[in-house]
Amino acid sequence: MLSLLIGANASASTRSESASLSNVVATYSYAGTYPQSLDSRLEIERSGVVVYDQPVSSKWCGTGCWPNSISPSARVVHVVRLRARGLPNVVLDLYTGGAHCCAVEQVFYFDASTKKYVKVERDFGDPGARLEKLGAGGSDDFVTANDAFAYEFTDFAASGLPIEILKFTNHSFQNVTRSFPTLISTDASQWLKAYEEASSSHYSDTVGVVAAWAADEDLLGHSSEVTTFLMKQVKLGRLNSLLNPKAGSGEKFVLLLQKFLKQQGYLS
């Protein structure tokens, strides 16, 4: 049974949040005023015994990490199964601070040989990640977007970030996006709609969103259709970049995009 408790400790400036699953209870606490945090700690209990109690730290923000939530009441600590029939894992959502950076996910797994919890973390950049029960047996995966597309062809606001899905397996994050074609197709449809709206209104920066659409479609095995569509848009003069009209528009953009998609593993 999963439970969540958010409350105030003895000090009004100290907050704590707990989540539990099976015999595991994780408690995240910090002092300070939301969203900034001081002296944050994570405690993990197994069957009523504290087996982990450490200050929260990350290689991206040291001990000054913030809770990554949109409001003081949003949950940032989770106890979930990241592998079907596996032991419960503790997941902590952190934010490094600063503009356009960076959402960090920390996973704590129980090492049966040492009887200790081990931390593995990943920087998810701007898009962050959310847990969704996509895996077999109701296990949770991390749904995010490919942050490498940000600023690649235009500014951040006009960039499209195609969907990514990561599974935590063998003590590391693995990209399993191709295993979810329905979600990829839905994401592609959203980016195509955004592109069509921008191009039909003669918006001067369309390359960012169509790049995300192309990435999704390439994952679905539609590379030839993508090329045909893009070259048609070249002839119609709809592939435009406000920031870099010479290097980032028309046929030159298509060549740059295909090179980038190969580097990112979307094209073979």
Average pLDDT over residues 231-246: 85
Cβ atoms 43, 27 nearer than 8 A: yes
Which DSSP string do the residues of 103-123 spell out, in sequence order?
EEEEEEEEETTTTEEEEEEEE
Q: What is the 3-state secondary structure (H, E, C) of 3-69?
A: EEEEEECCCCCEEEEEEEECCEEEEEEEECCCCCCEEEEEEEEECCEEEEEEECCECCCECCCEECC
pLDDT tens digit string along 131-147?
999 988 889 999 999 99
Please choose, from the candidates 226, 103, 99, 211, the residue with its C-alpha nearest in 3D space to the C-alpha of residue 161: 211
- 155/12 Cα distance (integer angstroms): 41
- 174/50 Cα distance (integer angstroms): 30
Confidence at residue 6, expressed as pLDDT on a 0 to 100 scale:
41
Please choose, from the candidates 180, 123, 167, the residue with its C-alpha nearest in 3D space to the C-alpha of residue 141: 167
- 250/242 Cα distance (integer angstroms): 12
**Sequence spans of domains, the chain:** 3-145, 183-263
- 13/4 Cα distance (integer angstroms): 20
Query: Can you state the angle between helices 223-236 and 207-219, rounded to 10 degrees?
Result: 160
Query: Is the confidence at residue 110, as pLDDT, over 90?
Result: yes
pLDDT tens digit string along 162-219?
999 999 999 999 999 999 999 999 999 999 999 999 999 888 899 999 999 999 999 9
Band (72; pLDDT cuts 50, 70, 90): low
- 177/146 Cα distance (integer angstroms): 11
Confidence at residue 38, expressed as pLDDT on a 0 to 100 scale:
81
Tally of CB atoms within 10 A around 44: 23
Confidence at residue 241, expressed as pLDDT on a 0 to 100 scale:
85
34-38, 52-56, 167-171, 258-262: range with lowest mean pLDDT: 34-38
- 96/109 Cα distance (integer angstroms): 22
State pTM to two decimals: 0.89
- According to DSSP, the residues that pair with 119 across neighbouring strands are 108
pLDDT tens digit string along 7-22?
434 344 778 899 999 9
Query: Is the confidence at residue 94, as pLDDT, over 50?
Result: yes
The residue to which tokens 């090329």 are assigned: 227
Cβ atoms 115, 55 nearer than 8 A: no
Cβ partners under 8 Å of residue 43, min gap 6? 26, 27, 29, 50, 52, 53
